[in-house]
Amino acid sequence: MTMVRRTIYVALLPLWLMAVGQTTDQDKAHAIEWKERHARYSDLRIVESESWLEINVNSPRPLNDVLAALANNHVWRINYEDPHYGHADLVDDTAPSWLKEHPNGTHVYGIAGGALSVKFPLDGYFPDDPMQVIPAVIEAYNRSGNPGRFELRTTEKHAWFDVVPTAAADGPQQPILDTVMSFDATETDDFMVTLRRFCEELASRSGQAIEFWGFFQPGSNPLEQAKIKLNAHNEPAREILRQMLGQVSSTATWLVLFDADSQKFTLKFR
């Protein structure tokens, strides 16, 4: 019996060593790719003159980074929404140091964004016209090969600019905020409670998970105690959200991001 067991152990040993060797090689390849990718990331740089606008950035979500900076610089009210990214849109973003200490640990995934470079002429008479800038940035992004495709939607008098997803690696898709729903809000609840209920109803109607995560910059915010009164029936979730946010702020915008690990959307304000 002892001889049989030794034979089995000896036969399995090369298979175990092969598996260990493959895992080690994969970890090394991942570490090289991760370090090279993170080394390419660069801070956003915007150079603007009376006749030209030049933008350069390299990051996981370059379009969102550019739009956030433009909104801040020009006081434009720009809302941004992620698509439901597919597997081909993602990259293993697990830190090599974590894998070294946890060889069988959980991997984390991020958006496989990268470089975005834009340069285009401006009309010197209207250098602050958002319709000169935002559509050109989105068009450049859609040609860049980065994940997702987007389009611009505007409201009357261009009071709001909604940058919404139209496709990801898996093909065309409907933005989650296009979901038609009904929602009632009363002044008995504060803003945070109301928005959590809104996301719960949106998740139920759309079949996609979404959670309200509050404000992009955490901490005390006067809007947290604001009250909303609303009675909306069969309207796109985006318009319901616009009505609620319009009641409490003249500058705040929304941000809908997709988390690859939890397969959930998160709603934030900034």
pLDDT number for residue 218: 55
Copy the structure tokens of residue 32.
């090289």
Give pLDDT, residue 123: 82
Longest dimension (CA), the chain: 92
Rounded to two decimals, the pTM is 0.88
**% of the chain residues with pLDDT over 90:** 69
Q: What is the pLDDT of residue 4?
A: 45
Residue partners of 177: CB distance under 8 A and separation at least 6: 81, 164, 202, 236, 237, 238, 241, 256
Q: Can you tell me whether residue 4 is helix, strand or coil?
A: helix
Q: What is the pLDDT of residue 100?
A: 86
pLDDT of res. 11: 57
Average pLDDT, integer, range 29-55: 92
In the prediction, which pLDDT does 12 show?
A: 55
Through-space distance between the first and last CA atoms of the chain, rounded to whole angstroms: 70
What pLDDT is recorded for position 23? 63
pLDDT value at position 17? 46
Most confident of 77-86, 96-105, 122-131, 226-235: 77-86
Please state, in angstroms and rounded to a whole number, the distance separating the CA atoms of residues 212 and 118: 32
Residue 171 falls in which region: left (phi positive, over 0), alpha (psi -120 to 50) or beta: left
Compute the mean pLDDT over every residue in the chain, rounded to the nearest whole number: 89
Q: What is the pLDDT of residue 9?
A: 52
pLDDT of the residue at 233 = 97
Is the pLDDT at 77 greater than 90, yes or no?
yes
Determine the average pLDDT of the residues in 102-131: 88
Whether the per-residue pLDDT at 69 is higher than 90: the answer is yes
Q: Give 125-170 pLDDT, tens digit per residue.
A: 676 889 999 999 999 999 999 999 999 999 988 899 999 999 999 9
Kindly tell me the number of DSSP H helices and DSSP E strands found in the chain: 6, 14
pLDDT tens digits, residue range 3-26? 444 444 555 555 544 444 556 788
| Per-residue model confidence (pLDDT) at position 149 | 98
Mean pLDDT within 199-228: 84
Mean pLDDT of 243-249: 91
Domains of the chain with bracketed CATH: 36-173 (no CATH), 176-270 (3.55.50)
